[in-house]
C-alpha cells in the first residue's frame, strides 16, 4: 500500500545494506504493478512510499528505461526547465508544474550502472524519486502560483485541519 501520510514521507532515508536491496526492490516492483492493476499507473516508486526508510527507488518507464537506484545521488544538473503535470502516487490526483533539470549525472549507485547520465522524462523521474529519499515531496517542488497561494483563513496545506495563519503561516 502506498503511503500518503506526509509526516511519514518526510523522514530522510538511510543507506541500504547489501542484504536488504533485492527484497526491497522486489517489494517496490510488486507495489508498482499493484497500483497499475488498480488503474493508478506510475513510473517510479521510492522505498519510503512503502514505509521503508532506505535509499532505494525504482524507475520503470517502459521495457527499455528501467533502473534501480540504490544509495545514489545526483552530482550535476543541467538545463533547468518547467515540467508540466508531474504527479505522485502518494498524492493521488495532484499534478503540478515543477522546476526540474533535463539532464542529470547520477553517481554512487550500489547496483550497475554505478554512474550514468539521464535526460528528459527519465531524469525527471529520478529527481522525483531521489527527492522522496530526502523527504522532499511534490508539494515542496511545485511552482507556486497566485492560485496556489494560501490566504490566512484558508485551511493549511499540511492537512492539519488548522487555518493557515494558526499553523504553517505563523512565521
CA-derived radius of gyration, the chain? 17
Pairing of strands 95-107, 115-119: antiparallel
Closest Cα partner for 6 from 103, 113, 90, 111?
90
DSSP letter assigned to residue 58? E
Distance in angstroms (rounded) separating the CA atoms of residues 16 and 58: 14
Sign of CA dihedral 141, 99, 40, 72: negative
Active site residue 129: yes
**Of the residues 35, 86, 96, 129, which is catalytic?**
129
What distances in angstroms separate CA 49 from CA 64, 84, 112, 120, 134, one per listed residue?
A: 24, 22, 23, 23, 12
Grid coordinates of 13: 532515508
Closest Cα partner for 39 from 95, 109, 92, 117?
92
Catalytic residues: 129
Amino acid at each position: 500500500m502506498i503511503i500518503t501520510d506526509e509526516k511519514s514521507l518526510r523522514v530522510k532515508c538511510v543507506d541500504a545494506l547489501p542484504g536488504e536491496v533485492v527484497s526491497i526492490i522486489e517489494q517496490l516492483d510488486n507495489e508498482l504493478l499493484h497500483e497499475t492493476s488498480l488503474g493508478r499507473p506510475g513510473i517510479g516508486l521510492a522505498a519510503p512510499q512503502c514505509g521503508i526508510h532506505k535509499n532505494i527507488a525504482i524507475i520503470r518507464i517502459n521495457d527499455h528505461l528501467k533502473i534501480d537506484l540504490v544509495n545514489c545521488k545526483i552530482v550535476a544538473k543541467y538545463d533547468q526547465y518547467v515540467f508540466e503535470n508531474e504527479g505522485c502516487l502518494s498524492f493521488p490526483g495532484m499534478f503540478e508544474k515543477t522546476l526540474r533539470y533535463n539532464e542529470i549525472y547520477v553517481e554512487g549507485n550500489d547496483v550497475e550502472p554505478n554512474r550514468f547520465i539521464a535526460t528528459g522524462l527519465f531524469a525527471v523521474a529520478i529527481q522525483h524519486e531521489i527527492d522522496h529519499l530526502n523527504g522532499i515531496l511534490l508539494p515542496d517542488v511545485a511552482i507556486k502560483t497566485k492560485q496556489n497561494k494560501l490566504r490566512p483563513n484558508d485551511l493549511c496545506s499540511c492537512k492539519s485541519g488548522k487555518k493557515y495563519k494558526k499553523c504553517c503561516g505563523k512565521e
